[in-house]
Amino acid sequence: MSSGVDSVRDPLDNAWKTLRFPIIKPRELLLLFLKAGIAVSMLLIITLFITLYNQPFYPNNNHTTMKYMLQQKTPEEKASTNISHLLFGIGGSSATWQTRRQYSELWWRPGATRGFVWLESHPPDNTTWPETSPPYRVSGDTSVFKYTCSYGSRSAIRIARIVKESFELGLENVRWFVMGDDDTVFFTDNLVTVLSKYDHNEMYYVGGNSESVEQDVIHFYTMAFGGGGFAISYPLAKELVRILDGCIDRYAEFYGSDQKIQSCISEIGVQVTKEPGFHQVDIHGNPYGLLAAHPVAPLVSLHHLDYVDPIFPNTTRVNAVKKLITAYKMDPGRTLQKSFCYDLRRNWSVSVSWGYSVELYPSLRTSKELETAFETFRTWRTWHDGPFTFNTRPVSVDTCERPHVYVLDGVRNVDGDMTRSWYRKTVDASGKECAREEYARALEVQYVDVYASRFVPDKWKKAPRRQCCEIMDGADGVNSSVVRVKIRGCRRFESVTPS
Ligand SMILES: *[C@@H]1O[C@H](CO)[C@@H](O)[C@H](O)[C@H]1NC(C)=O
Ligand SMILES: *[C@@H]1O[C@H](CO)[C@@H](O)[C@H](O)[C@H]1NC(C)=O
Ligand SMILES: *[C@@H]1O[C@H](CO)[C@@H](O)[C@H](O)[C@H]1NC(C)=O
Ligand SMILES: *[C@@H]1O[C@H](CO)[C@@H](O)[C@H](O)[C@H]1NC(C)=O
Ligand SMILES: *[C@@H]1O[C@H](CO)[C@@H](O)[C@H](O)[C@H]1NC(C)=O
Ligand SMILES: *[C@@H]1O[C@H](CO)[C@@H](O)[C@H](O)[C@H]1NC(C)=O
C-alpha cells in the first residue's frame, strides 16, 4: 500500500478510536428498530413472491389441482413401475398373424401383460383368435392420409397411429405405451427394469437404433427403430396424439411408421433416450457375434429373428429363442451379460455371455478384444461387412486363433438364489480343430459350468459395470472335461488385467 493512501486513512482511523464507547439515544434506538422491521418485511415479501412464482400454474382450483400444488402423490403414483403399467401396441396383420404369433406368444403373458395386436381387418370368420395371443383390435381407416414414399407401404400410416388408438382407449394407470412389431420378442421383466429408471410423469421416448449404419443413414439416427420396440411415456403420448394425424400428412414421404412418429415427436422437442438393450437386429447371417457381445445393459428386445440364423445351432428359430428364454426366466437381469476371467496357471481366457455362450481361449486375451463382437453377420440392406454402429473383429481363418465356443445346454437353481448354467462344446464351423500341442488341454474341455447368484434388478439403476468371474478349478482339476466358473460382483480395484 502506498504511503499516500495511508496518510489519507490515518485521520479516519483516529476518529474511530475516539468513538470507542458510543452512547445510543432512545430516539436512535427506535429508528434502528424501525429500519430492521422494514428490512425483515421486505425479505418476507420477496420470499413469498419467489415461492408463488415457482408454483406450477394450474387454472382450476379443484381437489386434483390442490393435491399437485402440495406435491403429494397417491400410493398408486408412488408405486414403482410394474408390468401392469405398460400398454403394448403390436403392429400386426390378419394375413400373417398365424405365422407371426409364434414370436409374440413367446413373451405375451395372458392376465399380466396389457395391450393389443392391431390388425388391418377382422381375422377370417372361420378362425378363432388364439387365447395365447394378445387380444386384437382393428385399426381405423387410413385412406384419407397421404403417403408418398415410392418404395414403402401405406400400412406405415396404420402402424404409426397405433399409439394414438391405444391412447384413445383411455385405459387406467397406463404409464408407458410400448410399440413393437409382430416379430418383436420382448423381455418384459427387463423392459420394466429399464422403464422404471425414468419418471413416467415426464415426457420420454425410449428405444434404440439400427445396428447397420446404412439403415441409420437412410432412416434416422435420432429415431427409435420400431422393430426393436420403443416406449412413450403417458405425458408424451398425450401431446403426441394431438398432432399425430397432421404429422402423418406432413411427413408423407417417409417410409416407416417409426420415422413418422419420431418426426412428430421432434415437433414437441423431445429426443430419443437410447437404451442399448433394444435390438432391431438389422443384420443378416449368424447373430452369434451380436448376442455374445451384449453391452452392459439389460436385454430388452430382439427382432428380425426370421431373417438371421437360429440363435442356437442345430434347432429351429423359435426353439432357439425358447432356449434363451429358459435362461432368461431363471435370471432376467443377467441374460447375455458378459464376464471375463483368466486362468493364469494354464494361460487361458474365458469369456461368458450368461445364458448364451462361453468362449475359451488357450491364451491370454485382453478385455478390450473379448468385449468386441465377432463379425459373424452382414449389414441389413446391402449384405456388406459393415459398417455397424459398434466395432467388430473378424473371425480368423486360422482355427488356432479362434476360441472354442460352448453354447447353453441347460440352467437350474442351486441353493435358492444361485443358478448353475452349463454350456456344451460346439463343433467349429470349419469342422477342424487346432492341432497345436498347447491347445490339446483346452480341446479336452467339453463343458463349462457357470455358477452365479441372481442379478438384483436394482443394480441396473446404478452405474453399469461388467461383473467379474473366476475359474474355480486349477490346472489340477479332477475332471479335465469340465471348467467351472463363478460369476460375482467385482472387488474393489479388481480388473481384468493379466498379471
Ligand atoms: C381438476 O384439475 C385437473 C388438472 O388441471 C384436471 O385434469 C381435472 O379435469 C379437473 N377436475 C375437475 C373436476 O374439474
Ligand atoms: C403394480 O403396481 C400397482 C400400483 O401402481 C399395484 O396395484 C399392482 O398390484 C402391481 N401389479 C403387479 C403385477 O405387481
Ligand atoms: C377359412 O375360410 C377361407 C375362405 O372363406 C378358406 O380359404 C380357408 O381355408 C378357411 N380356413 C380354415 C382354417 O378353415
Ligand atoms: C442336432 O440335433 C439332433 C436332434 O436333436 C441330434 O440328434 C444331433 O446329434 C444334433 N447335432 C449336433 C451336431 O449337435
Ligand atoms: C503363460 O504365459 C507366460 C507369459 O507369456 C509364460 O511366461 C508362462 O510360461 C506361460 N505359462 C504356461 C503354463 O503356459
Ligand atoms: C466329467 O464331467 C462330465 C460332464 O459333467 C461327465 O460326463 C464325466 O463323467 C465326468 N468325468 C469324470 C471322470 O468325473
CB distance 434 to 443 below 8 Å: yes
Q: Classify residue 292 as left (phi > 0), alpha (psi -120 to 50) or beta.
A: alpha
Region 107-119 average pLDDT: 97
Does the pLDDT of residue 20 top 60, yes or no? no
Please tell me the predicted confidence (pLDDT) of residue 37.
86
Q: How many CA atoms lie within 13 A of 200 on its CB side?
A: 24
CA of 94 to the centre of ligand 3 (A): 13
Q: Is 493 left (phi over 0), alpha (psi -120 to 50) or beta?
A: left
User: pLDDT at position 4, please?
Assistant: 40
Closest CA to 195 of 185, 204, 186: 204
Q: Mean of the pLDDT values across residues 258-268?
A: 98
| Structural contact between residues 237 and 169, judged by C-beta atoms closer than 8 angstroms | no
Distance 449 CA to ligand 6 centre (A): 12
Percent of the chain with pLDDT over 70: 90
Q: Is pLDDT above 60 for 16?
A: no
Q: pLDDT value at position 1?
A: 37
Closest CA to 203 of 240, 235, 243, 177: 235
Q: What is the pLDDT of residues 298-321, one digit of tens each?
A: 999 999 999 999 999 999 999 999
pLDDT digits (tens, 9 = 90+) for 152-203: 999 999 999 999 999 999 999 999 999 999 999 999 999 999 999 999 999 9
Quickly list H helices, 352-432. Answer: 367-370
Cα of 485 vs centre of ligand 6, distance in Å, is 16
Tell the burial category of 317 from Cβ atoms under 10 Å away from its Cβ (0-12, 13-18, 19+).
middle
Ligand 4 binding pocket mutation candidate from 314, 322, 425, 446 (most atoms within 8 A of CB): 314
Q: CB neighbours (10 Å) of residue 52?
A: 8
For the segment 231-238, the average pLDDT, to the nearest whole number, is 98
Determine the Cα–Cα distance for residues 176 and 394; give it in Å rounded to an integer.
40
Q: What is the pLDDT of residues 318-356, one digit of tens each?
A: 999 999 999 999 999 999 999 999 999 899 999 999 999
pLDDT at residue 431, as a whole number: 80
For residue 483, give the DSSP letter: E
Residues 270, 205 contacting (CB under 8 angstroms): yes
Q: How many CA atoms lie within 13 A of 157 on its CB side?
A: 21
Task: Label residue 131 exposed, middle or buried (CB < 10 Å: 0-12, 13-18, 19+).
Answer: exposed
Task: Tell me what the pLDDT averaged over the chain comes to.
Answer: 90
Give the pLDDT score at 7: 42
pLDDT at residue 282 is higher than 70: yes
Interatomic CA distance for residues 335 and 355, integer angstroms = 6
Alpha carbon distance 289, 338 (integer Å) = 13
pLDDT over 70 (residue 476)? no
Residue 494: pLDDT band with limits 50, 70, 90: very high
The residue contributing the CA closest to ligand 6 atom 5 is: 482
Q: The whole model's pTM is what?
A: 0.83
pLDDT digit string, tens, across residues 399-433: 999 999 999 999 999 988 999 999 999 987 778 88
> How far, in whole angstroms, is CA 379 from its chain's centroid?
22
Nearest CA residue ID for atom 8, ligand 1: 64
Is residue 135 over pLDDT 90?
yes
Distance of alpha carbon 355 from the chain centroid: 18
How large is the average pLDDT for residues 44-66?
Answer: 64
38-67: average pLDDT: 68
Measured from the Cα of 63, ligand 1's closest atom is: 1
